[in-house]
Amino acid sequence: MTTTSFHLRGNYAPVTDELTAYDLPVTGSIPPELNGWYLRNGPNPREDSAHWFNG
């Protein structure tokens, strides 16, 4: 039985799509000083590796 490492599943899974989203719902308010983009920052491994820092 093969299992996928925890760092390659769920929210940590590799991302293959690049998305641009506009007018997303916001609860509360966004400070006016925030002006820019949110980018996912972290490893994006292409294959299973022994350690999750090796992305």
> Residues 1-55: pLDDT tens digits?
567 777 778 887 778 888 888 888 989 988 889 888 777 676 777 666 666 666 5
Q: How many domains would you assign to the chain? A: 1
Query: 50, 46, 54: which is closest to 5 by C-alpha?
Result: 50
**Helix (H, G, I), strand (E, B), or coil: what is residue 10?**
helix
**Helix (H, G, I), strand (E, B), or coil: what is residue 8?**
helix
Extract long-range pairs of 29-37: CB within 8 Å, 24+ residues apart: none
Q: What angle do CA 13, 15, 22 make, to 5 degrees?
A: 125
**Helix (H, G, I), strand (E, B), or coil: what is residue 33?**
coil
Check: pTM over 0.75? Answer yes or no. Answer: no
Which range marks the domain in which residue 12 is found? Answer: 1-55
